[in-house]
Amino acid sequence: MLRRTFNALAISAALLTVGAGFAAANETLKIGVSASKTGPLTAGATAVYWPNVKLWVHDVNQKGGIKVGDKLLKIDLVEYDDKSGPEEAVKNIQRLATVDKVDFIVAPYTTGINLATAPLISRYGYPQLVATGNANELEAFVKRWPNSFWLLGKASDLSTGIVATLKTLRDKGQIGNKVALAHVAEAFGLEMIQSAKPAFKEAGFDIVYETSYPLGTQDLAPVISGAKAAKPDAFVAYSYPPDSFALTEQARIQGLNVDAFYVGVGGALSGYSQRFGKQVEGVLAMGGINPGDEVYKAYRERHKQVTGQDADYWASPVVYSSLQILEQAIVKAGSTDRAAVVKAISTGTFETVIGKVSLQNNLIGRVWTVGQWNNGVLQGVNGLGVDGAKAPVKKPAWN
Amino acid sequence: MQIIVTGTLLGGTYALIALGLTLQYGAARIMNLANGETLVAACFVSFWLFTATGVNPLLGMVVIAPMALVINWLIYAWLLRPLVRRAKNRGMLEVDSILATFGLLFLLQGLMLLGFGGAYFSYRFLAEPFLILGEPYGLNRVVAFVAAVIVASLLYLFLYHTRQGTAVRAVAVDPASARLVAIDVARTAAFAFALGGALTACGGTLLSTFYTFNASMGVIFTMKALIIVIMGGVGDVRGATLAALILGVTETAVASLIDPGLTLAANYALFVLVLLFRPQGILGRASA
Amino acid sequence: MMSLRRDELAVAGSGIAAVGLLSLLPLFSDGFALSFGVNLMLYVAMCTAWALFSGPTRLVSLASAAFFGVGTYSVALGLDSLPFPVLIAIAALSSAALAGLVGAATLRLSGVYFVIFTLGLAELIRQVVAWSQSRFAHKMGLYVFTDFTERDLYWMLLALTTLVFGVGWLINRSRLGFALRIIGDDETVARHVGIATARAKIVLFMTSGAFIGVAGAIVAPRYAYIEPQAAFNPMISFLVVIMALLGGTRRLWGPLVGVIPFTIVMEFITARFPNHSSVVIGITFLAIVYLLPDGITGLIEGMRDRIRRRTAAGTGIEAPDAIEEKAA
C-alpha cells in the first residue's frame, strides 16, 4: 500500500510538470503569486492585494512587457490560493519555485504568512517585497533573511504615528489627555499595542481604558460602552476591517463623542467612507495619502478603470509600488538573475506611485502612518519622510 | 442593566442564527454544516435588494424566506434524501450528512466567491440610536431582536399548536414510531429541513443590517449555531432560544466586567460545562 | 500470543520495505515533491493516530487541532532553552495529559455530543492561548528558527508514521484492542463481560492525542512563525476526520488509503483551479460521498470479497471475511 503512495506521488508530480511545460514555450517573464482567495484573509486580499497584482500585470503587458537586457518580456502570471494559512502558503511557494520554476514571486498577503514563508522564499533566492505586513523586530529579521524587504514600515512606526498626531492636537489645546485603547487579539493588534503603550505613556497621555477583543467579533457594544464610561478625550483602536466598521457604528450609536477617533486597518478603505458617508469626516485611520499628488491621482483612476474597484488610501498604492520596484529592479539588473535583482532593490532608488523610494537596511523610510477623513478622502496627517501632510484637526461630534 | 439589554439583543441575534439549524438537525436529522452559507447567501441577497432596488430588508424577507424554503426543499430532495434512504442507523446518517454538507459548504461558498468576490460588504439600514431606559442601542439590532422574538414565537405556536407542527416534533423524537401513527416521515423531514433553511435565511437578512459580511464567513455562523443547538438540546426550540439568550448575556457580561478578549473563551467554556453536566441540553429530559 | 502468523509476517515485511523505499524520496527531490511528501506524511500520521481511537470506539473527535497546537506550541515556547528531542517528548506528554483530561471528562458523552464537545474544547484552548499571549506576552507570533530542512522533517514524520502503525498493530493484537472492538460494537455488552471501558478508552485517547501532538511539534519548524490562528486551525480537525472517514476507520490501513487520494486530488485542484477551488472541492466531495458510501476501504474490500466469492462459488463456501463483515 505504501508503495502506491510513491507511485501516485511520482505520477502527480509528472502531471504537474507536463502542465507547467506548456507555458514556458514562448519567452515570457514568469511571475508567481500565492495569496488568499478563500478563508478569513480573503476579504482584505480582495480589497488591496489582488486588484493591484492584476493592474500591474495589465499595465506592464500593455506597454509591451519588462525590458530584461535587450528583450522585452511580457508577464505570465501563475496564481495560487493559500487558503489563508501558512501550510498551503509554504506548499504554494515550493510549487512556484520548483514545479512552475517562476522567475520571481510576489510576496504573499499579511504579516503572518510573509513571516512564515520568508525562510523558503529566501532559500530559493527570490526577493520578497512585503507590502502588506509589518512587525516590530524587523531589523533582526532582515539580518537573518536579507532577501526580504518591508515597505509598510515597522509596526512601531505605524502604531506610534497616532501618538504623535494626538500630541499635536493636545499641544494645540484641541484635545485632552485621556486615551481609551482597544486592539484585536491577533498578530497585528498585538504588535501594535506592544509599541504603542509605552509611546502613549512617554508622551504623557493617560490611558483610562484598555482592552483586547477576539478576532472576528463584530459585537463590540461592550468595548464602546466601556470606553465611554471612562470618559476619554481620544479613542484609539488597532482594529481589523470588520471590527473597524463595527466599532465606528457602535461609537456613533452610543454617542461616544471624543475629540479624536482612530481605527486601524479598514479605516482607509473606500468602503468605509461609502458606508458611513458624511459621518467619517474627521475620523482618523491608519494609512493616508497625499491627495494632491498627481501620480497617485492617476494611479487611483487607472485602478478604478482596470479593476472596477476603488483603491484604498493606504496599502493599495504600496502593493502597487512593491511591484513597480520589482519591475524597475529587474530592468536595472538587466537579467532575471535573482541575486542581481535583490542587490538592485537594496541599492536603487525607484519611481513609484507613493513617490521616490529607496530602502535602507531593507526597510522603507517613507511611510504614511495616520490619515484623517476630509471631504471623502483620507488625507495623510502623519508619516515618515512623506510630503504633503496636513495638520490634524479636532473631530466634530457624530452627526 | 446595560449589560443585560446589550446581552439580550445579542442573544436575539444568536437565536436567529441557531433556530434554523435546530429544526434541520433536530427534526430532519441533518447536521447541516452549510447552514452558515445559507445565512450569508441571504445577507448577499438582501444587500443586493437594498442597494440595487432600494427594497427594505424587512420587506425583502417576504421574498427571501420563500425562496430559501424552496431551495432548501430541493437540496433535501436531491442531495440529502438518497443519504437518508441508504443510512442504516442514525450514526451513519450523521456521518454521511456531515460529509455531504461539508461538500455543500465548499460548493456554496465557491459560488458566492465567484458571484460577489471575497470583499467585505455592508450597508446602512436603521443604524440609528434607539433609547431603552435612557441608554442608546442600535435600532437595527433592536429590530432584529423583535423579529427574532416574533419568529421564535410563531415557530413555537406552529410546533406546539398545529397538526403539522406536532408531526415535526414527533419525527424529531422518534422517526420510527412517528411512522406508526401515520405520519409521512420523509415529507415531514423534508419540510422541517426546508423550514429550517427559511428561518436561517430570515436570520441572515436581519443580520446583514448590522454585520459586515463576506463570502467566506459562513463557517463562523455555523459554529455559533452548532453550539447553541447542542446547548439548547437537539430539536428543542425553547431550549435553543434560552441558550442563545444565556450566551448573549454571558458574553456581554464577560466583555464588560472581565475582558472582551475572553468572550469567545467564556462562550466555549460555558458550552463545555453544559455538555458535561447536562448533555441532553438545558431543557432536555434526562433520558434523551 | 506474540508468535506471528505467516500473513502477518508478510505484511510486516512489506511494510518495512515500503518504509525503506519511502525514506529514499528526499534523495530524489528536495523541491515540491518533498514538500508534498511532508504534507502527505503529516496527514497519514495524524489520520492513522486519530483512527486508533475513533475507529474502534466510533467516537468522532474534533480535538485534533488542540493536540496539534499543543505540540506546535511546545516547540515554539521551548526552542531557545531545550534540545529538540526533549521538546518532542514534552509535546507528547502534554498532548497526552490534555487527552487524559478530556477523556476523563467526556466519558459520559457519546455520539454527536462528543463530536461537538471536542470541537468546542479545541476552540476554547485556542481562545485561551490567544488571550494569554496578548495579556502576558504582548505579542502573538513566536519565531521558530531551526536548521531543520524539509528533508529532516520528512524523515521525522516518516518515523512517526511507522511508529503509529507499529503501535496500532500491537494494540489490535492485544487484549486492549479486542476490548475496544467490543466497546465499539456494544458498550453495554463490553461492560457486562468485565471490560474496564472507561480506562481502555482514556488510554487509547491519550495515545492517539500524543501522536497528533508530536506531529504538530515536528512540523513547527516549517512555519518559522507560530500564531494561535494557524496552530489551532480548526480546519486541521476537519481534514483529519474527513480523510480518515474517506479511507474507512475499521482497518489500520484505512486512513492511509483515504489520505493519499484525497491529498492528491486536493493538490491537483489547488494547482489547476486556483480561482474555482472551492466549487471544485465541493463537487468532488459530494461525488465521493455519493459514489463511495463505505469509504475506500469499503470499495477495496467489496472488490476483494467479490473476487473471493467468485472463486469460492464453486465450493459453496462463503469467504470468512464476508461473514465477519456481516457480523459487524
CA A392 centroid distance within chain: 23
Size of interface A-B (CB pairs under 8 A): 114
A162's CB contacts (< 8 A; 6+ apart) are A196, A236, A262, A284, A286, A369, A370, A382
pLDDT value, residue A26:
59
Nearest-Å Rg of the Cα atoms of chain C is: 21
> What is the spatial distance between Cα B239 and Cα B195, in angstroms, rounded to a whole number?
18
CB contact under 8 A, C227 and A99: no
> What is the spatial distance between Cα C235 and Cα A204, in angstroms, rounded to a whole number?
45
CB contact under 8 A, B261 and C134: yes
Q: Does B159 touch chain A (CB under 8 A)?
A: no
CB contact under 8 A, B212 and A223: no
**Cβ-Cβ contacts under 8 Å, C274 against chain B:** none
> What is the spatial distance between Cα C50 and Cα C62, in angstroms, rounded to a whole number?
9
B31's CB contacts (< 8 A; 6+ apart) are B25, B94, B97, B98, B101, C112
Cα–Cα distances in angstroms (integers) from residue A267 to residues A211, A309, A312, B193, in the given order: 19, 16, 9, 40
pLDDT value, residue C235:
80
SS3 A235: strand
A300: its cell numbers: 487611483
Question: Concatenated DSSP letters for A193-233?
Answer: HHHHHHHHHHTT-EEEEEEEEETT----HHHHHHHHHT--S
Question: Concatenated DSSP letters for C247-307?
Answer: H-SSSTTHHHHHHHHHHHHHHHHHHH-TTTHHHHHHHHHHHHHHH-TTHHHHHHHHHHHHH
Q: Does A90 touch chain C (CB under 8 A)?
A: yes
B190 φ, ψ (degrees, to nearest 5): -60, -45
Q: What percent of chain C has pLDDT over 70?
A: 89
Q: Which of A252, A164, A257 is nearest to A202 (CA)?
A: A164
pLDDT value, residue A330:
94
C31: its cell numbers: 523541491
What are the pLDDT digits (tens) for B174-196? 878 888 888 888 889 999 999 99
CA A260 centroid distance within chain: 24
Question: How many residues are given for chain C?
Answer: 328
Contact C130, A185 (CB under 8 A): yes
State the nearest Cα–Cα gap between B97 and chain C, in angstroms.
9
With 0-12 CB in 10 A as exposed, 13-18 as middle and 19+ as buried, what is B264?
Answer: buried
What are the pLDDT digits (tens) for C253-274? 888 888 998 888 888 888 888 8
Q: What is the mean pLDDT of residues B74-89?
A: 86
Q: Does C289 touch chain B (CB under 8 A)?
A: yes
CB contact under 8 A, A86 and C230: yes
Question: Which residues share a beta bridge with A372?
Answer: A284, A379
Contact B26, B199 (CB under 8 A): no
pLDDT value, residue A194:
82
pLDDT value, residue A102:
94
**Cβ-Cβ contacts under 8 Å, B275 against chain C:** 109, 113, 116-117, 120
CB contact under 8 A, B108 and C282: yes
pLDDT tier for residue B64 given thresholds of 50, 70 and 90 = very high
**Which candidate from C111, C124, C285 shows the least CB-CB separation from B269?**
C124
> What is the spatial distance between Cα B244 and Cα B231, in angstroms, rounded to a whole number?
9
Q: Which residues of B touch C (CB under 8 A)?
A: 31, 79, 82-83, 86, 90-91, 94-96, 99-100, 102-111, 113-114, 223, 226-227, 230, 234, 259, 261-262, 264-265, 268-269, 271-272, 275-276, 279
B231: its cell numbers: 446547548
Contact B165, B195 (CB under 8 A): no
The residue ranking higher by pLDDT, C328 or A315, is: A315
What is the b/e burial string over A53-65, where b = at least 16 CB atoms within 10 angstroms of the residue's CB? Answer: bebbbebbbeeeb
What are the pLDDT digits (tens) for C172-184? 888 877 877 777 7
What is the b/e burial string over C217-253, where b = at least 16 CB atoms within 10 angstroms of the residue's CB? Answer: bbbbbbbbbbbbbbbbbbebbbbbbbbbbbbbbbbbb
pLDDT at C138 over 70: no
| Average pLDDT value for chain B | 86
Chain A residues 254-273 with CB within 8 Å of chain C: none
pLDDT value, residue C3:
61
pLDDT value, residue A22:
45
| Average pLDDT value for chain C | 81
Question: Concatenated DSSP letters for C138-198?
Answer: S-S-EE------HHHHHHHHHHHHHHHHHHHHHHHHSHHHHHHHHHHH-HHHHHHTT--HH
The residue ranking higher by pLDDT, A7 or B34, is: B34
The residue ranking higher by pLDDT, A8 or B233, is: B233
ipTM entry: 0.84
Q: What percent of chain C has pLDDT over 90?
A: 17
Query: What strand order describes the sheet that includes A104-106?
Result: A75-81, A29-35, A104-106
SS3 B174: coil
pLDDT value, residue C140:
56
Question: Which residues share a beta bridge with A282?
Answer: none
> What is the spatial distance between Cα B261 and Cα B230, in angstroms, rounded to a whole number?
24
> What is the spatial distance between Cα B36 and Cα B229, in angstroms, rounded to a whole number?
13
What are the pLDDT digits (tens) for C193-238? 777 777 888 888 999 999 999 999 999 888 778 878 788 888 888 8
HSE (side-chain half, CA atoms, 13 Å) at C50: 36
DSSP state of B75: H
**Which candidate from B6, B120, B263 shows the least CB-CB separation from A271?**
B120
Q: Does A242 touch chain B (CB under 8 A)?
A: yes
CB contact under 8 A, A38 and C278: yes
**Which candidate from B104, B226, B271 shows the least CB-CB separation from C286?**
B104
What is the b/e burial string over A226-247, where b = at least 16 CB atoms within 10 angstroms of the residue's CB? Answer: bbbebebbbbbbbbbbbbbbbb
pLDDT tier for residue B74 given thresholds of 50, 70 and 90 = very high
pLDDT value, residue A11:
52
C201 φ, ψ (degrees, to nearest 5): -65, -45
> What is the spatial distance between Cα A365 and Cα B153, in angstroms, rounded to a whole number?
61
**Cβ-Cβ contacts under 8 Å, C15 against chain A:** 2
Q: Which of A181, A182, A258, A180 is nearest to A217 (CA)?
A: A182
pLDDT value, residue B196:
93
Residue type, C241: V
pTM as predicted: 0.85
Q: Which of B8, B17, B18 is nearest to B246 (CA)?
A: B8
With 0-12 CB in 10 A as exposed, 13-18 as middle and 19+ as buried, what is A204?
Answer: exposed
Q: What is the mean pLDDT of residues C14-21?
A: 78
pLDDT at C106 over 70: yes
Place of cell 510538470: A17
**Which candidate from A39, A46, A222 shows the least CB-CB separation from B117?**
A46
pLDDT at C310 over 70: yes
Tens of each residue's pLDDT in chain A, 399 residues: 444 444 555 555 554 444 444 444 458 999 999 999 888 888 889 989 999 999 999 999 999 999 988 889 999 999 999 888 888 898 899 899 988 999 999 999 988 889 889 988 998 999 999 998 887 778 888 888 899 999 988 888 888 899 999 999 999 988 999 999 998 877 778 778 888 999 999 999 999 998 888 888 888 888 998 899 999 999 999 998 889 999 999 999 888 999 999 999 889 998 898 888 888 999 999 988 888 888 999 999 999 999 988 999 998 999 999 999 999 999 999 989 999 999 999 999 999 998 888 888 888 878 899 999 998 899 999 988 888 888 888 888 887
C229: its cell numbers: 490562528
pLDDT value, residue A17:
47
β-pairing, A284-286 vs A355-360, is unpaired
Strands in chain A per DSSP E: 29-35, 66-68, 71-73, 75-81, 104-106, 128-130, 148-150, 178-185, 206-214, 234-238, 260-263, 284-286, 349-352, 355-360, 363-364, 367-374, 377-384
pLDDT value, residue A33:
95
A122: its cell numbers: 529566501
DSSP state of A277: G
> What is the spatial distance between Cα B97 and Cα C107, in angstroms, rounded to a whole number?
25
Cα–Cα distances in angstroms (integers) from residue C138 to residues A162, A188, A199, A377, C198, in the given order: 19, 11, 15, 33, 41
Cα–Cα distances in angstroms (integers) from residue C96 to residues A123, B4, B84, C285, in the given order: 36, 40, 37, 32
pLDDT at C292 over 80: no
State the nearest Cα–Cα gap between B37 and chain A, in angstroms.
13
Residue of chain A whose alpha carbon sits nearest to that of C130: A185
Cα–Cα distances in angstroms (integers) from residue C133 to residues A113, A185, B225, C98, C130, in the given order: 19, 9, 28, 19, 5
